[in-house]
Structure 1
């Protein structure tokens, strides 16, 4: 009997312990007045929750725009941390045993012991998906810890994150230590966008934990994306480092323990349990000159806006790690993206190309990958679920480039439907000239007479492609309405686009083409797409330059 009573008492104690977080009494902002004192909870080393003292200095704001509470912090924890540090955001503040709000680091004070709190009432509204208010706390450039990134990889990542108001630092990230303690108010918590061999995320503090595993944290937005789907992670704090601008916590982001579902002005909200949907990404990079291979296997959050930038950053970082040098060279780049569209069904984007640059080859090769990712995730036709991305890159420090010098047709004349031989003379970089023979089939509908052809390299129009890409990014109107009507049309244009190492023979634009499309004059777009009679031969080097030839067509 005593044993049964003991077990029952133990169960009741466990249940009461689990409910204490959610059942803590709250203090409305209306009850808070200057001079009140309380305590706040946070972690500045490992996963041990410690307390520091706070004093309320005043309340500002109104019911329409929301209130904020100005406090001054003090105590041994604040002295050791260098003041209110980045990463303390979300630290719960209790006054007379009642939860009043969360530290919301963000306002710049000369004295780091001062900060504002976000009232707990505003944070609890996150669980009901409120209409967002503008944030007063989070400045632009939220620091993200980039684990597994090279120095140049961090710089490149910061460039890509700048439009989202984020910046990356190479301090912290992934590590071997992670907390084994359950989340509770004051615990360190990680929010991440990427996990695996490379990790990207931020640290904050848990404010409140609900009975069903819901949590509130940060006290300010992460990116203020509203409905969100980020990784929620365990965290281990290595140290809080003083800094001239502001102190900041450095730590390891550990295992995924749930999903962050709300990211709004008052903070972030999520639920412990199942993690968010992910996009698996695998990158393999080989430096042929050194015989070195590196790979990165990561999972990225399934975010339509962030995914293209994340793919770009992962690929670049793996290249930077493998090359271990700044400079140019030749790259053979291929990628495959698999997914499923709501309308189109199974989707496959598969692309190969070659690139050369005298300097900065790593920044050049990802353009088509980013463009394909953007089309799939941000197209206007249908939602696409991406199942996986595979990227393969082979680098060499040589210039594998050749320029077209001349071209000649062997046959003096040919009939519609005949196949002719075209000998193309090329000048490789610092090597003897070579001649390559390509075939061209004359259209069966071709009229009798002179047929002008253009022989060109796949990279000879790269400057036009880059110009059009830049114009699209800047919103410059196209010269002609895009004829692509479905997502599959865009995917086809990616899969069938010219490669820089293609040797291309095509009917000269507007010169005797047997189809109306070529006669309509579509400007740059038609130049890039070419005629339906365009024929390509893939070389093992980049082909540049262009020349014209004429075939006599006889009946």
Structure 2
């Protein structure tokens, strides 16, 4: 007993040292109390927290200059503050600082979220924490309504411009605002200046600068600052959050893509409330309800820049899911695993080498087609020359749960083949994501791209037939003359069968590429009734690189949905033309009797020629 008493001071010292060491490991952040906007006054001083390097937040000073009524939006005021401290004086307000919590007297005031472009001092806008919390406490929006079906244009589905389906990307970020002259003397340094959301650094790993520059305009409209980083990142792993995960001031990354190619946006956590995370203080893309991976990260450095200093952050493990992206910030849930889309791309280069790229992306109406397009463009440019003619074959599938695959088969040639081939798979993907049809659950994309040097284009010059008087069911020989890119001509002869149901009279034979045939078709648009109809239509689209033979004649008919009906009786035509018929029915004067793809070789064909035949009995 005596020995225990004599050892007690030593034991106590060991326990005290262990407790002190443990306390050093626990992140020290101000109290959980929130300061309402009504208590904020000009002249108040406090501190803010953000990560400048590594994972540990550092503090710097903040002085409140005043409050701008409705600075963020209706009934959403903006606090204006001035930052101080060695790091803040060096970097001023930088991209990636968004969300940095501001504390006064140990109470959370809000998030640093706005900046004044070209400011000579570290003056910022602060989103009040009350505005950040209240917008996410509102009743969540209902699931997207599928009452009004999306309508698609066939020519657009055959093309490569997926933005015609998604629409141009213009996030609903708050517009620039000017600080008026009636704001009081404390705001004198910023009177007449404009403020805008702090740019969010979007780090591209594994991407060439040329690819980043090509897609930067889309991202700049959403307040993104594109930054190239070295290499991609590993496949997304999920970590169970702990009590020290994503606390106020920690660096947070929202990942858009991960794998051999990575895209991620960095910011700062404003507040953690249980498993709820509040960050940024302004929109990410202003997408509303989302499902985006939310990860811990470590900061490599903050790069001082005359135009806009920015944070370089590397994502670590995913710890939750971002579920809301709105005017006053982003909101996520810890412990919830996000849904991602696996993409696998195989490339056979013009030198016979096989390359494979794997990455995962978020699933979003606009972002996923953009990420697929940029990933394919980067893959092609990284393995092939960027100047000169190339020919690229694209084959692949978009897989869905419980539905048939969408087949992708395309061929492009010429100096723009790489750009067009990289964009084309995003068209059916955008159609599936924007169709507003219940039951579409995309589970993966697999693509194979074969590249060869040189151009394989052939333009149709003229056609001729062995005779112009024909009978139903007979065959006719059609001689077609093409011209290569260098001007040299060549001929091909096709034997075609006259439609068995062709009525006596004039019959037009048209030889043309798929794009021309589609433009001349009476069916230009369709609104799919269900996912299977959309998939079937995508799989049966005409190909712009192929040559088609079309027999048509003048005849009263109609387009019903996406189908053409010919030789309708006069009573039906009268019903269609009486102005009381609805439901996607359209009268026509030309009917297609027969259409077929011609086996004309590996060229990419263009052009159109027609000849009139006389059908006799």
Change in Cα spacing, 1:482 to 1:513, as seen in structure 2 (3 Å) is closer
Aligned partners of 1:541, 1:350: CA distance in 2, in Å? 21
Question: 1:230 touches 1:260 (CA, 8 Å); kept in 2?
Answer: yes
Number of equivalent positions: 525
SS class of match (1:145): strand
Q: Partner of 2:69 in structure 1?
A: 61
SS at match of 1:26: coil
1:250 is displaced (CA, Å) by 1.4
Q: Is the 8 A contact 1:94 1:101 kept in 2?
A: yes
In the other structure, the counterpart of 2:529 is 486
User: Of the two structures, which has the highest relative contact order with CA contacts closer than 8 Å and spacing of 6 or more?
Assistant: 2
Report the CA distance shift for 1:504/1:75 in structure 2 as closer, same or farther (over 3 A).
Answer: same
2:160 paired residue number? none
Residue among 195, 198, 211 paired with 2:258: 195
Confirm or deny: 8 A CA contact 1:229 1:302 kept in the other structure: yes
Does structure 1 residue 547 correspond to structure 2 residue 609? Answer: yes
Quick one: distance in 1 between partners of 2:204 and 2:593? Answer: 47
Per the TM alignment, residue 109 of structure 1 is displaced from its structure 2 partner at its CA by: 5.7
> Is 186-195 or 161-170 further displaced after alignment?
161-170
1:493 Cα deviation (Å)?
Answer: 3.6
1:173 shift after superposition: 7.8
The answer as to whether partners of 2:289 and 2:323 remain within 8 angstroms in 1 is: yes
Structure 1 counterpart of 2:498, from 442, 451, 459: 442
Q: Shift in Å at residue 444 of structure 1?
A: 1.9
Which residue matches 2:434? Answer: 378
Shift of 1:434: 4.5
Match of 2:82 among 41, 59, 72: 72
Secondary structure of the residue that 2:398 maps to in structure 1? strand
Q: Determine the C-alpha separation between the residues in 1 that align with 2:199 and 2:593.
A: 48
Equivalent in 389, 399, 409 of residue 338 of structure 1: 399
| Deviation readout 1:104-153 (Å, 9 max, x if unpaired) | 13333613422122222222224414799974765497442221111111
**Does residue 404 of structure 1 match 2:465?**
no
Query: What SS does the aligned partner of 1:376 have?
Result: helix
Q: Which residue of 1 aligns with 2:326?
A: 264
TM-aligned CA deviation for residue 20 of structure 1: 8.6
Q: In the alignment, does 2:304 pair up with 1:242?
A: yes
Residue 349 of structure 1 is matched in structure 2 by 406
Deviation at 1:260, TM superposition (A): 0.8
Q: Report the Cα distance in structure 2 between the residues aligned to 1:202 and 1:438, rounded to whole angstroms.
A: 56
Q: 3-state SS of the aligned residue for 1:533?
A: strand
Structure 2 CA distance for aligned equivalents of residues 304 and 372 of structure 1:
12
How much does 1:92 deviate? 1.5
Partner of 1:534: 595
Q: Which secondary structure does the structure 2 equivalent of 1:499 belong to?
A: coil
1:38 pairs with one of 26, 36, 46:
46
> Using a 3 Å threshold, how does the CA distance of structure 1 residues 49 and 436 change in structure 2: closer, same or farther?
same
Q: How does 1:148-187 map to 2 (within 5 A)?
A: 148-161=206-219, 164=222, 166=224, 168-171=226-229, 174=232, 182-187=245-250
CA contact (8 A) 2:96 2:201 kept: no
CA pair 98-45 structure 1, distance change in 2 beyond 3 A: same
Give the secondary-structure state (helix, strand or coil) at the position aligned to 1:510. strand
Q: For structure 1, which segment, 363-372 or 393-402, has the greater mean C-alpha deviation from structure 2 after superposition?
A: 363-372
Structure 1: gaps spanning 5 or more residues: 469-478
Q: Secondary structure at the match of 2:320?
A: strand
Asked whether the 8 Å contact 1:326–1:360 carries over to 2, the reply is no
Question: Contact conserved, 2:173 with 2:285, CA < 8 A, in 1?
Answer: no
What is the alpha-carbon root mean square deviation over aligned residues?
4.2
| Alignment correspondent of 1:472 | none
Match of 1:90 among 99, 109, 115: 99
1:435-464 deviation per Cα after TM superposition (whole angstroms, max 9, x unaligned) = 4443423222112455431223446568x5
TM-score in terms of structure 1 length: 0.81
Deviation sequence 1:252-288 (CA, Å, 0-9, x none): 2233221111112221110122332222222233332
SS of aligned partner of 1:314: helix
